[in-house]
Amino acid sequence: MPPLLSPVCLGVPALLSPALITQSSLFGIGIAFSPLHIAVVTLLLLGRSPLQRAMAYVAGWAAANALAIVLLMVLGEAFAISLSHGEREQVLIDLLGAGALVGLGLYQLTPQANIGEEGMALRLMNQLPDFSTFTLVLIGATSALLTPENLVFYLKEAGLLLLNDPGLTADAEVTGLFTLMASSLLLLPPLAWLVSGGAIREPIMRLEDWLQHKAEWLVGVLALVLGAYLLFEGLHGLNLMTLAG
């Protein structure tokens, strides 16, 4: 007979552990920490129909993040890909992800990154007022899917769910949590605008300017830290794979 307060008696999936929730949340935050895309949201708050247009972009971003996880899980199940720690596929994902993030981090710390992102921001600033609300949803979704470092987090999140296999309902709950966390930082400017009744235009303009011109080093440092973590995971898994062989 199970204990009175066991996960089974409480109706909670036993494998939906705090570690699973924590890891999923961290992967989501890794995607949310994207100064360029936060800057796009702040730019939209400075134009016409600010909340509607900003939330359209965030909605597209969130939908794409959720869809990416679902598709990767379907592919993982269909091709019986093993994503356990120490398995070849997981080691490959970790090492390739580490290489991509370290490369991105080093690039973000160079002057070329600042020049390139300023130019991109200026182009977006000129074009955003012309886009319809539906187009902004598509742009938000495309931005999420075409951001290189996001793919690493998608693969890690899908692998986490496939490995733990908490059940369909728990999969949906954890994917929802991941999607919320992946949108959390993009939601902060619209929420601040809503709470203040639109009275924070000047602070938003200063935030938008800082995100355009000063945030590259933060992205670079975060990418290097995450790259180092994935490198450690990959090398540790490679060692396990070698010992098992």
Residues shown for the chain: 245
Query: Does the pLDDT value for residue 65 go beyond 90?
Result: yes
Helices (H) and strands (E) in the chain, counts: 11, 0
Residue 61: per-residue pLDDT: 97
In this prediction, residues 154-174 reach a mean pLDDT of: 85
Query: Does the pLDDT value for residue 131 go beyond 60?
Result: yes
End-to-end CA gap in the chain: 40
3-state class (DSSP) for residue 139: helix
Q: Treating both helix axes as pointing N-terminal to C-terminal, what angle do 148-164 and 216-244 enclose, rounded to 10 degrees?
A: 40
What is the CA 245 to chain-centroid distance, rounded? Answer: 34
Better-scored residue on pLDDT, 132 or 78: 132
Query: Does the pLDDT value for residue 46 go beyond 50?
Result: yes
At residue 132, φ and ψ (nearest 5 deg) are -75, 170
Query: Does the pLDDT value for residue 132 go beyond 80?
Result: yes
Residue 147: per-residue pLDDT: 86
d(CA 178, CA 27): 7
Better-scored residue on pLDDT, 108 or 224: 224
Please state the domain extents for the chain.
15-244
Q: Report the percent of the chain where pLDDT is more than 70.
A: 78
Query: Does the pLDDT value for residue 14 go beyond 50?
Result: no
**33, 219 contact by CB (below 8 A):** yes
What is the rounded average pLDDT for all residues in the chain? 80
In this prediction, residues 207-235 reach a mean pLDDT of: 77
Q: Which of 59-68, 105-114, 135-144, 175-184 has the lowest mean pLDDT?
A: 105-114
Better-scored residue on pLDDT, 157 or 218: 157
Q: Report the percent of the chain where pLDDT is more than 90.
A: 26
What is the CA 77 to chain-centroid distance, rounded? Answer: 22
Better-scored residue on pLDDT, 192 or 207: 192
Residue 95: per-residue pLDDT: 85
Confidence band for 224, pLDDT divided at 50, 70 and 90: confident
What kind and span of H or E run contains 241? helix 216-244
What is the CA 237 to chain-centroid distance, rounded? Answer: 24
Residue with tokens 């440092």: 221
Work out the angle at residue 104's Cα, subtended by the Cα atoms of residues 183 and 150, and round it to the nearest 5 degrees: 30
